[in-house]
A = this chain, B = another copy of it.
Amino acid sequence: MGMFGGGKGAFIGSIHRSAALMDNHIELVCGCFSSKAEKSFESGRELMLDESRIYTSFEEMIEKEAQLPEGERMDFISIVTPNHLHFAPAKMALLNGFDVVLDKPITYSLEEAKELQEILKQTGRTLALTHTYSGYPAVKEAKERIARGDFGKIRKVFTEYPQGWLSGPAELDPSSNAGWRTDPSRSGKAGSMGDIGTHAMHLAEYVSGLRCTELCAEVKTFVEGRRLDDDGAALLRFDNGATGILAASQVCAGDENPFTIRIYGEKGGIEWNQMNPNTLVVKWLDRPTELVRVGNGYMGYFAKANSRTPGGHPEGFIEAFANIYSNFARCVMAKKDGVEPRPEWLDFPGIEDGVRGMQFIETIIKSGLEQESKWTKWVE
């Protein structure tokens, strides 16, 4: 794979690389790690890349790689830049025959996302969107159990993503990741709603199998001088009549990353907390709560296909990330080999999730900031 972005000091770039590499079927062969040539080269060298395949623009990278023979050139490009730099490289890569991995949210605007969707239809290429949390095996177990009806009809979906790292004006520190995330020209219409709200909505829909049809939101900026929202909450309605709540905030001082989801059906429900990711709490009306744990023989098909260790040997965030990379890579290889992909390989977020993410941003911002919390139909 080739990487765009993720130079020295960029947290998420190194996560992407570890995730891609750890299953021993993806190799980093080239990259453009920074628009500053020096930094890109320094980063590339540290990653033991051949100098000839360290680039200083995505255009250069895609162009030159496309000229290399098939077995040699990168198979796909992983784009880990701020939101405003997703669309152009993704589009060019797709049009030049490369598959694409994109960090979320998929693009800067809904329009870009839809254009990408169009290009994917035309090119028939593969795109993965790294909504890490649906890569966790316990999350897949939850989805599988709900889908097969263990809990009866779903009534309630609660998802909450509280973080504390933007409790102060972190964007004033130039070394912080907060800079572009709070800058409308780089992040898009939303701050926290785009950064973590999209994760929460994605997980709610992924696990429940439902689609949100309308929401009623309050979106807010607590830190003075901040240019985008740092907090939001919404009442939710789903297509089967279920209701729920989504809360996402980056001013929950003292919270690290306890992203949770709880779903209740008529007979029971599930609870999952990203900070204890290998346990799925399964509740029942008339029986004891069960701690369903990743790595055990009783786990379902998808969870088993997405875990590496026996029970009690924790897998974490990077492994969840790696599941997305590995499933994506297996699909890419299967296509190349003309092989039918297995169902678990196909189970990674893609363009439709990306478009829904951008629609979520549009919808929640509309309900929250423009309409004073009116119930707002999902923006298509």
User: Which chain B residues lie closer than 8 Å to A247 at the CB level?
Assistant: 158, 245
Residues of B within 8 A of A21 (CB): 21-22, 24
A254 touches B309 (CB 8 A): no
In the complex, which residues of chain B have a beta carbon less than 8 angstroms from the beta carbon of A23?
A: 18
Is A117 on the interface with B (CB-CB < 8 A)? no
Tell me how many chains of this kind the complex includes: 4
Listed stretches A60-68, A197-205, A265-273; interface member: A265-273
Given the known inter-chain contacts A156-B249, A156-B251, A231-B243, please indicate yes or no for A298 contacting B309, CB distance below 8 A.
no
Provide the A8-43 mask, 1 if CB < 8 A to any CB of B, else 0: 000100110110011111001000000000000000
Choose, from A181-189, A279-287, A342-350, A357-365, the stretch at the interface: A279-287
Scoring A residues 299 to 322 as 1 if CB is less than 8 Å from chain B, else 0, what string do you get? 000000000111111111111000
Q: How far is the CB of A305 from chain B (nearest CB, A)?
A: 14
A288 interface contact, C-beta 8 A? yes
Whether A291 touches B293, Cβ cut-off 8 Å, given contacts A285-B253, A310-B257, is: no
| Residue in B22, B245, B252, B285 whose beta carbon sits within 8 Å of that of A22 in the complex | B22
User: Which B residues are in CB contact (< 8 Å) with A257?
Assistant: 310-313
Nearest residue (CB) in B for A292 is: B288
Interface residues on A, range: 35 or more
Interface residue from B25, B252, B256, B265 paired with A264 (Cβ < 8 Å): B252
Chain B nearest CB: distance from A315 CB in Å?
5
Q: A257 vs B315: C-alpha distance in the bound complex, in angstroms?
A: 13
Convert A151-186 into 0s and 1s, putting 1 for each residue whose CB lies closer than 8 angstroms to a CB of B: 100011010000111011000000000000000000
Question: Closest residue to A288 on the B side, CB-wise?
Answer: B290
Task: Name the distance in Å between A18's Cβ and chain B's nearest Cβ.
Answer: 4
Q: Does A209 contact B (CB under 8 A)?
A: no
Q: List residues of chain B with CB within 8 A of the CB of A233.
A: 235, 243, 245
Task: Give Cα A314 to B314, complex, Å.
Answer: 9
Q: When the two chains form their complex, are residues A222 and B168 in contact, meaning their CB atoms are under 8 A apart?
A: no
Q: Is there a chain B Cβ closer than 8 Å to A123's Cβ?
A: no
* Best-surrounded residue of A156, A217, A265 (most CB of chain B within 10 A): A156
- Whether A315 contacts B312 by the Cβ 8 Å rule is no
| Interface residues as binary, A210-240 with B (CB distance below 8 Å gives 1, 0 otherwise) | 0000001110101000000001010100000
Residues in chain B near residue A217, CB distance under 8 A: 235
A334 at interface, CB cutoff 8 A: no
- Residue among B15, B151, B167, B296 making CB contact with A266, cutoff 8 Å: B167
A243-B233, A276-B276 are known contacts. Are A284 and B318 too (CB-CB below 8 A)? no
Specify which chain B residues have a CB less than 8 angstroms from the CB of A218 in the assembled complex: 216, 235, 243
- Name the contact of A289 in the complex, choosing from B24, B151, B290 (C-beta under 8 A): B290
B275 in contact with A312 (CB, 8 Å): yes
Which 4 A-B pairs give the minimum distances between C-beta atoms? A254-B283, A257-B312, A256-B312, A314-B316
Known: A288-B290, A314-B314; 15 extra A-B contacts, CB below 8 A, are: A11-B309, A18-B22, A18-B308, A21-B22, A164-B283, A164-B285, A216-B373, A254-B264, A254-B269, A256-B295, A256-B311, A257-B312, A276-B314, A287-B290, A309-B316
